[in-house]
Structure 1
Amino acid sequence: MSYIAAMRSENPDARVIIIRRAPPDFSDWEQVRALILEAFAYMDARIDPPSSALRITPQSMQEDAEKGALLLADDAGDLVGCVFVRPKGDALYLGKLAVRPGLQGAGIGRRLVDAAGEEARRLGLKALELQTRIELTENHGAFGRMGFVKIGETAHEGFDRPTSITMRANV
């Protein structure tokens, strides 16, 4: 299965972003890891505990993709965004949604979420679900504008306060 979602504008020189599912033989895990680390770097001084993105490996990413799928945003062969998705109850869980920092705010994240929604519907799931850190209020707002609502809070092991919120959107 392939997701094709091209982004065009009235400007003929504008980027065309293709959203696609990583094929079974995908092997460029280091490029995905580099994108995630670049996209999540701004969080380093803001969140506690540190992001699990710092612990990802090619093997762990491959295992995550095998539990569901890896959706990629491609700009003429250049990886500019990604999200891991996997079924979780009646929802499709989105993990490590990342967009290259210079392109954040250009709609690539929304296209990835839209492709995840398409995958959820294909699987007969009712919703999308994700977690975002409690400190990242700008992310709460961005996901809210995509139709996500807060459904809960969780605390990482060893913490006596909420460290993340869970958000959900119907598909």
Structure 2
Amino acid sequence: MQPVRLGPQDDMAPVHALLHAAFAYMEARIDPPSSLHRMTPESLARDAATKELWVIRPGPAPLACVLLTPETDHLYLGKLAVAEAARGTGLSRQLMDHAVTRAAVLGLPRIVLQSRIELTENHAIFARMGFVETGRTAHDGYDRPTSLTFTRDLTATA
């Protein structure tokens, strides 16, 4: 199954549901709460109009998604999610490979993502995919890091 790009005219309810289900495990673990709480199907449609929303779906419901945002010097990767029933089947890797392809098409030399500091299992996954920690940031009102920034330099593997 190849990733399919959704546009603002597409039904975002299934993607919204996937994101909420896939991110539910982190609810009690992260502080502050996820920005996902502010996301709606309508805001996803707006994102699909200005960014790149990609899904893998064998039918009407997506099994995986990712939101790619081209920036001046990198491709920002956000909201990577895989349905629980499809975890361990390589869909994250497929979407990551797709992000690498999109970065190359757009002439961008790196991919950047952020992960909450508490989600150490995700940090290990990103490291296996060629990312290195390049920064730590704090959400407004916090005096400690709440997120880690990871970067994958594509020029070193090109």
Change (3 A) 1:162 1:151: same
TM-score (norm 1): 0.85
Q: Say if 2:30 is the partner of 1:47.
A: yes
Mapped contact 1:120–1:126 kept (Cα < 8 A): yes
Residues 124-162 of structure 1: CA deviation (Å, up to 9, x unaligned): 000111100000000000011111110000000111100
Residues 50-73 of structure 1: CA deviation (Å, up to 9, x unaligned): 111121012221222222211111
Mapped contact 2:132–2:152 kept (Cα < 8 A): yes
1:29 Cα shift? 0.8
The corresponding residue for 1:156 is: 139
- Count, aligned residues: 154
| Local SS of the residue matching 1:79 | coil
The corresponding residue for 2:86 is: 103
Mapped contact 1:120–1:127 kept (Cα < 8 A): yes
Identity across matched positions, percent = 48
1:25 Cα shift? 5.4
Alpha-carbon separation, structure 1, partners of 2:24 and 2:123: 18
| Local SS of the residue matching 1:61 | helix
TM-score (norm 2): 0.92
Change (3 A) 1:44 1:90: same
Structural RMSD (CA): 1.3
Q: Say if 2:126 is the partner of 1:126.
A: no
1:104 Cα shift? 1.6
Residues 18-64 of structure 1: CA deviation (Å, up to 9, x unaligned): 31222x35421111100000000000010001111121012221222
Q: Say if 2:70 is the partner of 1:90.
A: no
Mapped contact 2:80–2:92 kept (Cα < 8 A): yes
Change (3 A) 1:104 1:146: same
Alpha-carbon separation, structure 1, partners of 2:2 and 2:9: 16
Gaps of 5+ in 1: 1-16
